[in-house]
Amino acid sequence: MARWNLRRAMGWLLLIFSILLVITGLGITEYRTVEAVTFGLLGKALSFQLHTLLWIPFLAVLAAHLALACRAGRRKGD
């Protein structure tokens, strides 16, 4: 049960990081639109900083998610 909750939490974290990466990437290329949607909160410079800083946590969560999924797949296959 605890592993199922951990896998579920990793999935949700991966989804959150993926959405943040897409939004900050759009903030870099389409900064006027994203600035208007976020009421000026996310400008081009802040989007670039966040996008750059989010890659390492995104990759760590992706690796953890893949490791848990492969481990669960191996157990079901036995």
**What tens digit of pLDDT does each residue of 36-46 get?**
888 888 899 99
Give dist(CA 69, CA 38) in Å, integer.
35
Asked if residue 47 is part of any domain, the answer here is: yes
Is 28:48 a contact under the CB 8 Å cutoff? Answer: yes
Asked if residue 78 is part of any domain, the answer here is: no
Asked if residue 50 is part of any domain, the answer here is: yes
The pTM score is 0.79
Asked if residue 41 is part of any domain, the answer here is: yes
Domain that holds residue 9: 2-73
With pLDDT > 70 as the criterion, what percentage of the chain qualifies? 88
Q: Could you give the number of structural domains in the chain?
A: 1
Asked if residue 24 is part of any domain, the answer here is: yes
Q: What is the mean pLDDT of residues 49-74?
A: 89
pLDDT confidence band for 78 (50 / 70 / 90):
very low
54 or 38: which leads in pLDDT? 54
Q: What is the mean pLDDT of residues 39-62?
A: 92
